[in-house]
Amino acid sequence: MATKKRSSSFRFIKLLFRLIIYFILITLIWVGLYAFIPPPVTATMLLDDNGITKDWVPLSEISPNLTRAVIAAEDGKFCSHNGFDGDAIAKAIEYNSQGGRIRGGSTISQQTAKNAFLWQGGGYFRKGLEAYFTFLIEKIWGKKRIIEVYLNIAETGIGTYGAQAGAQRYFKKDAADLTKIEAARIAAALPLPKKRAVNGASGFTRRYGNTIAARINVVKNEGLDACVYK
- Name the band, by pLDDT with cuts 50, 70 and 90, for residue 58: very high
Same domain (yes/no): 164, 186: yes
Whole-angstrom distance, CA of residue 165 vs CA of residue 153: 10
Q: If you average pLDDT over residues 142-150, what whole number do you get?
A: 98
Number of structural domains in the chain: 2
- pLDDT at position 90 is 73
Look at residue 2 in the predicted model and tell me its pLDDT. 62
Both 14 and 76 in a single domain? no
Domain that holds residue 18: 1-34
Burial of 166 (0-12, 13-18, 19+ CB in 10 A): buried
As a whole-number percent, the residues of the chain with pLDDT over 90 amount to: 75
Residue 23 has pLDDT above 70, yes or no: yes
Q: Residue 89: pLDDT band by 50, 70, 90 thresholds?
A: confident
Q: Are residues 13 and 117 in the same domain?
A: no
Can you give the pLDDT at residue 174? Answer: 98
* Pair 176, 103 in one domain: yes
User: Is 158 within a domain?
Assistant: yes
Find the helix or strand (DSSP H, E) in which 157 lies: strand 155-157
Q: Are residues 77 and 151 in the same domain?
A: yes
Please provide residue 201's backbone torsions phi and psi, each rounded to the nearest 5 degrees. Answer: -60, 140
Are 14 and 86 members of one domain? no
The residue among 210, 150, 195, 199 whose CA lies nearest residue 173 is: 199
Does residue 187 sit in the same domain as residue 204?
Answer: yes
Q: Other C-beta atoms within 10 Å of 22: how many? A: 10
In-domain check, residue 21:
yes
**Alpha carbons 181 and 191: distance in angstroms, whole number:** 17
